[in-house]
Structure 1
Amino acid sequence: MQRTIPRLAAAITAAALAVGALALPAAAADDPAPVPSTITVPRVENLPADFIGGVDVSSVLSLEESDVVFRDADGDPGDLFVILRDAGVSDIRVRVWNDPFDADGNGYGGGDVDVTRAVEIGRRATAAGLGVLVDFHYSDFWADPAKQQAPKAWAGMTVDEKAAAAGTFTRDALTRFRDAGVDVTMVQVGNETNGASPE
C-alpha cells in the first residue's frame, strides 16, 4: 500500500505542534489557553511518494484521561488522530505490553498500554484513516537494549516455552486487532531486540 505525503516536513511540524500545544488540565490552570510551542522541523526534500509519516501515540489515552486537550495548528481543540491525519501523518505506532499493571492494578507508566488499550487506540486511528504499526515489547514495561525482561506471566518458563508464549500472545493480539477492524499495516516484533532476547 502506498501512502502519499506531499508536504512531510510541514506535516511533522504540525503534528509536533499538535502534541506540543497542549492545554493544561482545567483543574490545574487558571488560564486553559494552549501552551505555545517552539518546535520546528525543516522541510525534507525529494522523499518518495510512498514515504511513511508516522507518530507514536501510545500515551494518548492516558493523556486524555488527564484532561489534556489536543489542538490543531489554528489552536482549535480536536481529536488527535484527525489532527495528525489532517497534518499529513499517514501511520501511527502503538506500543503493546503484556501486563503493564502491578498487583493493585496501578500502571507502570508510558500509557499503560495492554492489548485492550492498544486495540482502542488502533480503532480510533483506523477511523481517522491512519495505518497502524503494532510494536510488541513482549514485556510488562519498556524493552530496550539495556533491558529485555520477560513479562510476569512468563516467569519460570524455559526458552522454548517463552517462544511459544510469544507466538500465542502475538497471534491472539493480532486477532483482536483484526476483529475490531483495525488497519494493522505493520508489526514490530520486539522493541530494540537486535542484540538481546527476553531473560
Structure 2
Amino acid sequence: MSRSTKSFIISLALLAVYSLTACSDDDVYQAPEAVDTYVLAVGDNYGDAMTGWNVTDIPNGIYDLEFYTKSSQTTELPYLAASGKMTAIKPSEKTWAKNVIKGIEVSNGTCRIELGNGEGIEIADLQLVSSRQAEFNLVKGGDISLLSYVEDNGGKYYNADGQSDDCLEILKQNGMNLVRLRLYNDPGNKDFYPSNTLPAGYQNQADILNLAKRAKEKGMEILLTFHYSDYWTNGDDQYKPHEWADLDFETLKTVVHDYTADFIQKMSAQGTAPEYVAIGNEIQAGLLYPDGACDDPIKMCALLNAGAKAVREVAPDARIVIHSTYSEGIPETTHKWFYGLMRDYAVDYDIIGISYYPFWTNMWASDFRAWADRMVNLFDKDILVVETGYAWNRTLPDGNPGQLSHNGPYAEFSKLGQRDFIADLTNQIKQVKNGRVLGYIYWDPIFIETPGLGWILGDKNYVSNTTLFGFQGELLPVFDAIKYNN
C-alpha cells in the first residue's frame, strides 16, 4: 500500500467508520459515487508545530481514531489530538506503526484533528470508528510513597523552567492524574525485623494520610495498596506485621477486615477516599505467610475477602484491585491459575492488577497487549498496570547497576528510550479490545538520588536511574509521553 501525508480525504463508510485516505498533491478530491465524502480542511498553523483539520457532519457520539505512522522525529515527541483527546507517537522510521486515540467525544457534529511536533512524520489510513465505550479516561499514575522521605532529606524537584517546585505540582502539570500510596503497618520499629530496616516516620498511617491530602489538593486520584506488613511485600516476601505474628487464623481474618476499614475511614474523614484499593501487593503466591500462602487457597481467599468486605463497607465507590506480577519466572499459566482461584473461591474484586516491566518479562508492550486481551477474554475484568518502569541510565551515579540492569527487548539506555517506552506502552494499552486496560502506574517515579537515602537503611538507592526525574531532580523527556496521552 502506498501511503502519503500530503493531504487527506474523509469518506463515510459503513455508517460508523470514517476513513481518511492519503493522496498526493496532484490528486483531485473526488468522492466515490457510493458514499458521502468530506474533505479535511487544513486549519491554522500553530507556530511551527501544529497543523489541524476539521471533520464535519459526523453523528454525535464517542469515537476512536485509528491511524498508522512513520516518524523519523526523535528530539520532539509527535502527537495527534482529536477534540481534546490525544496520543503520543513513538518514533518508527522503518515500519508503519498503528496508533489509537480513544474516547473522542463528538457533540456538535465536528471533530477537530490536530498534529503537534509533526516534523518528519507520515500519517496514513486514519479511521474514525464509533466506540462501544461510554468514555475512556487513561490512568497515568506514579507511586509517591517515599516523597516525604526524599523531601525531608533535602531532595528537590525541578520543573520545565528549571525552577525548584512541589513534586506533585510538577506531576500534575505534566499529565499525571493518579498517585499510588503503599501503607505499611509499623515501619521503622527498631525492635522488629524487617521493620527495623526502614526509616521511622514514613509509609505509615500519618505519612500516607498527609500524602493523600497533598494529592487530592492537586485533583489527583489515589490507589491505596495495603501491604499488610511492616515492610515491602512481593511473591518472595510476605512478612506478617509483628503485631499480628501470633494470631490464630480466625482472629487474623478479623484484624485484616478491621485494619482495612479503619484506615480507609480515616482517609474518607479527611476527604481523601481512595478511588482504587489493592488488597496486598504482588500476591500471586499469597499474602500474610504462612496463613495466606497460595498452597491453601481457601485461607488465602478468605483473607482477601476480609479486606474486600471492609472496602465495600466503608468505601463502596472504590474499585478493588488484586495485584500479581509478570516475569519470565511467573508465566501466563500462573496468572490463569491464580485468577482462576479468585473466580472459583468467589473473591470480591474489580480489577486485575499487574506488574509489567520489560526487564522482568523480556516482553515488548505489544506482547503485554496480547496477554491483556487473553486475560480479559478469560475473566472479564478490567486490567491496570500497577507497576512499570524503565532504566534511562545504564548505572546508578556511582557506576554500579541499579535494580533494572537492562530493559529487555528495549535495548536502549537513554532518557529518550524511557520516553519512547512509555509512549509505546500507552499506545498498546489503548489497543486492548474495548478499552479494558485502564492505564499504568510508574514505579518508582520520585525516589531520586538523595545523599544518605537508600531502599533500606544503610544501603543505596537502586532505582534512581529509573525515576521520572534525573539524578539532579530535573524533569526528564518521559513527561512528553505522559502529557501527550489521555
Same fold (TM over 0.5): yes
Structure 2 residue identity aligned to 1:108: L
Contact 1:90 1:131 in 2 (8 A): yes
**Could you say which residue in structure 2 is the equivalent of 1:18?**
none
State how far apart, in whole Å, the 2-side matches of 1:78 and 1:168 are: 38
Structure 1 residue identity aligned to 2:100: N
State how far apart, in whole Å, the 2-side matches of 1:144 and 1:89 are: 25
- Paired residue secondary structure (1:193): coil
**Could you say which residue in structure 1 is the equivalent of 2:455?**
none
Contact 2:187 2:201 in 1 (8 A): no
Question: What is the Cα deviation at residue 73 of structure 1?
Answer: 2.1
Confirm or deny that 1:147 pairs with 2:237.
yes
Q: Which of the two has higher C-alpha Rg? A: 2
**1:60–1:7 distance in 2 versus 1, CA, 3 Å:** farther
When the two structures are superposed, what TM-score results if normalisation uses the length of structure 2? 0.31
Question: What is the Cα deviation at residue 194 of structure 1?
Answer: 2.4
Confirm or deny that 1:75 pairs with 2:125.
no
Structure 2 residue identity aligned to 1:188: A
**Could you say which residue in structure 2 is the equivalent of 1:86?**
173
Question: What is the Cα deviation at residue 74 of structure 1?
Answer: 2.2
- Number of equivalences: 162
**Could you say which residue in structure 1 is the equivalent of 2:206?**
116
Confirm or deny that 1:184 pairs with 2:274.
yes
Question: Which string of whole-angstrom CA distances, capped at 9 and with x for unpartnered residues, describes residues 140-192 of structure 1?
Answer: 00100001111011021112211111111110100111111114111011001
Confirm or deny that 1:158 pairs with 2:245.
no
Higher relative contact order (CA 8 A, sep 6+): 1
**1:61–1:107 distance in 2 versus 1, CA, 3 Å:** farther
Confirm or deny that 1:128 pairs with 2:218.
yes
Write 1 or 2 for the structure with the bigger share of strand.
2
Aligned-residue CA RMSD (Å): 2.5
**Could you say which residue in structure 2 is the equivalent of 1:174?**
264
Confirm or deny that 1:46 pairs with 2:133.
no
State how far apart, in whole Å, the 1-side matches of 2:241 and 2:255 are: 10
**Could you say which residue in structure 2 is the equivalent of 1:39?**
none
Question: Which string of whole-angstrom CA distances, capped at 9 and with x for unpartnered residues, describes residues 47-104 of structure 1?
Answer: 5441100010010000000111111122111111111111000100011000002246
Which structure 1 segments of 5+ residues have no match? 11-43
Contact 2:157 2:165 in 1 (8 A): yes
Which structure 2 segments of 5+ residues have no match? 1-83, 90-97, 103-135, 290-486
State how far apart, in whole Å, the 1-side matches of 2:228 and 2:149 are: 21
Q: Identity percentage over the alignment?
A: 25
Write 1 or 2 for the structure with the bigger share of helix.
1
Contact 2:187 2:200 in 1 (8 A): no
